[in-house]
Amino acid sequence: MEKKTGKPRERNKDKSKKQFLDAVGKILKTKGYAGLKVNDIAATAGLDKKLIYKYFGGVDQLIDEYIRSLDFWSNVSKEDMPVITDGGEAFAKQMLVEQFDYVGNNKELQKILLWGLSEKRKSLKRVYDEREAVGEGLFTGITDPYFGDKAERFRAVTALLVSGAYYLNLYPTNAKTFCGIDVTTEEGRNEIKKALEMLVELVYTTAPATIRSRRNH
């Protein structure tokens, strides 16, 4: 029986659980992981903290469930991947630039990345493992075959570029410029993107001839 009398106050476990999970996300985005205190979460959710212990068992489990609900990498990989005819050069460029912007526009992901650098936590590790898994699929499927015995080298390059893109997005907490480039402005960010594309291009165009010949294979 569904009753929607006046509005005496809702009483719905599932909705309340969601309110707590949403509160975690909100606090994370604004104050970062260090702001995730029981009292604050309860206050943000507009419910009593006791319910956190009832429904989740504790703050830690609530946080873990929140983290488990995240899914930053599912959009990547199989989807927007056209036919690869250039060994993945265009794809790699697009991917790196997109990652750079994606992190830049996603405060939640920024905080998660920072959290992952700061605190050891099983549920966080899973987020990174999933990204690694997605990346592994792209490497083995696209670039490893192209670069052959230099595959590891290309992975190291990508590691540097991706992690650089991450760091530069986390960087503007105290200072704004890195190597003289203001990473908070559109101009500065465009410089970074152009550098990303140029580096990918350089790595692809100077791959060993014996390997590059596979392009027409």
Residues that bind DNA (CB under 7 A): 1-3, 5, 8-13, 15-16, 37-40, 46-51, 53-54, 58-59
Locate 126 and state its tokens. Answer: 């899973």
- Distance, in Å, from the CA atom of 68 to the CA atom of 163, rounded to the nearest integer, reads 23
* DSSP at 214: G
Shortest spacing between CB 36 and DNA, in angstroms: 7
Side-chain half-sphere of 205: how many Cα atoms within 13 Å? 7
- Distance, in Å, from the CA atom of 124 to the CA atom of 119, rounded to the nearest integer, reads 9
Shortest spacing between CB 132 and DNA, in angstroms: 31
Based on CB atoms, which residue is closest to a copy of itself, 57 or 202? Answer: 202
Number of residues near a copy of itself (by CB under 8 A) = 54
Indicate which of a copy of itself, DNA, none lies near residue 39 (CB less than 5 to 8 Å, by partner kind).
DNA
The distance in angstroms from the start CA to the end CA of the chain is 67
Locate 119 and state its tokens. Answer: 């605190």
Q: Which residues bind a copy of itself (CB under 8 A)?
A: 32, 34, 114, 116-121, 124-125, 128-129, 132, 135-136, 139, 152-153, 155-168, 170-171, 173-175, 177-181, 183, 191-192, 194-196, 198-199, 202-203, 206
